[in-house]
Amino acid sequence: MKRDKLYLIVISAMLCAIGIIIPMFSPLKIVLEPASFTLGSHIAIFIAMFVSPVCALAVALGTTVGFLLGGFPIVIVLRAATHIIFALCGALILMKKPNLLDKPVPTAIFATLISLLHGISEVLVVIPFYFGNQLKGTYYSNGFLISVVLLVGVGTVVHSLIDFAIARVIWVPLKNMTRRYLQPDSPK
């Protein structure tokens, strides 16, 4: 039991570190306020989601701190905070159905639904900024459909699907090792 808790703390800490470093130092950043796209920024969250709900929650909070420390505008930091929603929901689903990611069709459906939840959550955070006109001179001037629905909503769904696919490719070789380590009395 103590070993499992220590393992989850270490994995969560490592994924938090990765999640903080990526938005701070990634050269692949596109910021079109209210949208931003940092390739790989969700990978640590998805891997944490594959591990456990507690790990997903810790890493989603940690990566939000990464966006804050990375100097991103507050609307983008708040968008990062919504990752708690999709990460926790996805981790809870995977906890109930641990083999969900083993077959292509269920994996694609799961990734799509999680990405839609991700996109909707971020759109909901951006709406008050759009209607409050808090960020004059940004891409909000392109109108609600382009600024919020297309850039944030659709952009987030596509970005999320790409990062999910990358995370799954990384996770597949690690999952058996992780499951073996967390099982009691398993040889190391």
pLDDT digits (tens, 9 = 90+) for 84-126: 999 999 999 999 998 999 999 999 999 999 999 999 999 999 8
Q: Residue-wise pLDDT tens for the chain (188 aa)? A: 777 788 889 999 999 999 888 877 777 777 666 666 777 889 999 999 999 999 999 999 998 988 788 787 888 889 899 999 999 999 999 999 989 999 999 999 999 999 999 999 999 998 888 777 645 555 556 677 877 888 889 999 999 999 999 999 999 888 877 666 655 554 44
Total Cβ atoms within 10 A of residue 106: 13
Pairing of strands 29-32, 35-38: antiparallel
- In the chain, what are the domain boundaries? 2-182
Q: Alpha helices, DSSP H only, in the chain? A: 2-25, 43-51, 53-69, 74-81, 83-96, 104-132, 144, 155-182
Are the beta carbons of 38 and 76 closer than 8 angstroms? no
29 phi and psi, to 5 degrees? -115, 135
CATH number for 2-182 (one of 1.25.40, 1.10.1760, 3.40.50, 3.40.91): it is: 1.10.1760
pTM: 0.86
DSSP-assigned letters across all residues of 64-108: HHHHHHTT--HHHHHHHHTHHHHHHHHHHHHHH-TTGGGSHHHHH
